[in-house]
Structure 1
Amino acid sequence: MKYVIYILAIFFSISGIAQNNVLFEKGNKLYNQGKYLEAIEVYKQILDSDNHSAELYFNLGNAYYKLNGVAPSIYYYEKALQLDPNDKDILNNLAFAKNMTIDAIDTVPEAWTTKLINNIANYMTFDGWAKTAIVFVICFVLLFIFYDFAYTSVKKRVAFIGSMASLVFIIGSLVLAFHKFNLEKSDRPAIVFAQESKVKAEPNLRSEEAFMLHEGTKVQVLDTINNWKKIKLSDGKTGWIPSADIKTL
């Protein structure tokens, strides 16, 4: 009975993949025919089956871009970028889509030390840094054992230096792993979908207006209270925006 369940699960999985491939090709055909709304509907059928890929999000972004959909095109390009951060086509099209936005927001420059550490931490995932630390732990143990059994002073010196270097790399890998974890935890991006949204100083309608945002602007979500979200812009400004006006990535 257990094997029958496994076989059925594999069968339905393969069937689902085949169906999604058919839908993806259908969506591409509609897109090439200039039927962008129809293509979007087909692409979203694939999303409804919990099938996600950079290619699917990229094509959705392209379709919305053709329809001058500022917010959704940027949203889906950003989703594609999350799955494939180094894809040049996604980066280029995202830049074109951002040119359609109204808000011109400066970016607070990072200190070179912070930028360097963040770049190193982003080189791998949290799991990647954790696995790297484990590898260096194994190296440390092996070198320590080698040091204990080495008979010549030269071999002992080499083993000692190697074990100390491994210890340094263990500590460095763990520090970068937790730094990467904190970066991912604090990174809660969202896209403004409202054509125009008044950002308030406090989470209520009676509060004074802090500033105005328009569709397509990317923000960071800091907190949530009832139907309000506290956001932060790249220039450091903060405020409260109605939850319905943004869509989190």
Structure 2
Amino acid sequence: MQQSGQVWDAKEYAANGRFVADLAQDVVALLAPAPGERILDLGCGDGALTERLAAFGTDVTGCDRAPEMLAAASARGLRTVAADMTALPFAHEFDAVFSNAALHWTRAQPTVLAGVHRALRPGGRFVAEMGGLGNIAAIRTALQVLLRSYGVDAEEHAASFFPSADEYAGLLQAAGFRVSSIALIPRPTQLPGGMDAWLRTFRNGVLQQVPESRREAVIAEAVDLLWPVLCDSSGVWWADYVRLRFRAERE
């Protein structure tokens, strides 16, 4: 499997995943968007962060494959293009390609990077943040154990890719990029809706592999397993995020 079976719901994402855009200030600073630049926001989702890029005076285009998320982005008045990141329809159009919390949703990384390289003008930059090595390790382990009894390989169905800095730098270089910075950043992240809501929002593609009659029980078991390690003494849930942040230039 190369692509996640994840399904995105714009309302659920706004309620349970807004922290994804809210915590992106450092990767936006690394991008350093300038007025008039043409920027592609790859995996733009509902456009909350794309809108912030536009506020810098950039000429930004949001790109995503999820129709409902694109509709939400378009409703913000943003220019959008429907396309899978593994089949980008652009050629030498952008000064920069930006991506936040999207690249890790596919294992077809050489194909994605080839498309990004093609989309950039010579000397253009690729700035992104994605899940890195060790990302949501406790959550993934709990799901892997719980779903095994149903004959489901949770990691295979998630089809996520969480590389080390060295691994991804090698992929970038092989795709024709010069890496100027790349680092793994541990970032425990508070979950506003708790673990139950996070699982339903960010792992529905995996949970759909469980018979519907057992799905609620599996979610409850996962919450119970994770409570001792990811819920603090005040009852606040945290996800064990590790981010990989980089900047690279098209050679």
TMscore range, shorter length: under 0.3
Normalising to structure 1: TM-score of the pair? 0.23
Normalising to structure 2: TM-score of the pair? 0.23
Using CA pairs under 8 Å that are at least 6 residues apart, name the structure with larger relative contact order, 1 or 2.
2
Larger strand fraction of residues: 2
Structure number, greater radius of gyration:
1
